[in-house]
A and B are shown apart, each in its own frame.
Chain A
Amino acid sequence: MNALRHILLRREAGILVMIALFCLAVGAAKPQFLTLDSLRIILLLTPLIMIGAMGQMLVIVARHVDLSIGSMLGFSAMVTGMMFKFYPEIWWPIGFLVSIGIGAMLGLVNGVLVTLFRLPAIIVTLGTLNLYRGLTYIVSNAKQIDRQFVPSALKSMSQTSPVFGIPWIIFISLGVALLTYYFVMHTRVGRQIFALGSNPAAAPLRGIAVTRVTLLVFTISGALSGLAGILYASRWGFVNPSNTGAGFEFQVIAAVVIGGVSINGGVGTVLGTVLGVLLLGCVAAALPLLGIPGTTQNAIYGAVILVALLIDRTVRRQGIASLSARARA
Chain B
Amino acid sequence: MSAIDNPTTASAREAAPPRPLWQVIVIRPETMTLVLLILALLGASLLSPYFLDVRYILDSFTLSAEFAMVALVLTMVIIAGEIDLSPAANMALSACLFAYAQQAGIPIPIAILIGLVAGLVMGAINGLMVIRLQIPSIIVTIGTLTLYRGIAQVIAGDKSIRVPDWFTGINNVLVAGLPVPVIIFVVMSVVLGLVLGTTIFGRQIYQIGTNEVAARHAGIRSQRIKMGLFLLMGLVSAVAGMITSSRLGSVRYDLGLGGELQMVLMAMLGGTYIFGGRGTILGTFLAAWLLVIVSTGMTVANVLPAVQLVVLGVLLVVSIIATNAIYSRTQR
Interface residues, chain A, CB within 8 Å of chain B?
65, 67, 113, 117-120, 122-124, 126-138, 142, 250, 253-254, 257, 263-264, 293, 295-303, 305-306, 309-310, 313
Contacts and interface: CB of A to CB of B under 8 A. Distances in A.
Interface stretch (B16-24, B136-144, B169-177): B136-144
Contacts of B264: 123, 126
Contact of B307 (A132, A138, A257, A293): A138
Contacts of B324: 117-119
Nearest to A241: B306
Interface of B: 83, 85, 129, 133-136, 138-140, 142-151, 153-154, 157-158, 253, 258, 260-261, 264, 268, 274-275, 304-310, 312-314, 316-317, 320-321, 324
A295 B309 contact: no
Given A122-B138, A126-B260, A299-B154, A313 B145 contact: no
Contacts of A313: 133-135
Given A117-B324, A306-B143, A313-B134, A299 B151 contact: yes
Given A122-B138, A138-B304, A142-B306, A127 B150 contact: no
A108 B208 CA distance: 34
A300 B154 CA distance: 10
Nearest to B268: A123
A298 B146 contact: yes
A305 to B, nearest CB: 4
Contact of A301 (B146, B258, B307): B146
A27 to B, nearest CB: 25
A54 to B, nearest CB: 19
A123 B320 contact: yes
Given A117-B324, A300-B150, A302-B150, 12 more contacts: A126-B264, A129-B313, A131-B313, A134-B313, A138-B310, A263-B136, A301-B150, A302-B144, A302-B146, A309-B139, A309-B143, A313-B133
A120 B268 CA distance: 12
Given A127-B261, A135-B310, A313-B133, A297 B317 contact: no
A137 B309 contact: yes
A303 B147 contact: yes
A305 B142 contact: yes
Given A117-B324, A253-B142, A309-B143, A299 B309 contact: no
Contacts of B134: 313
Nearest to B261: A130
Contacts of B143: 302, 305-306, 309
7 contacts: A126-B85, A130-B258, A296-B150, A297-B150, A301-B146, A302-B145, A309-B135
A234 B320 CA distance: 38
Nearest to B321: A117
Nearest to B319: A127
Contacts of A65: 138-139, 142
Contacts of B268: 123
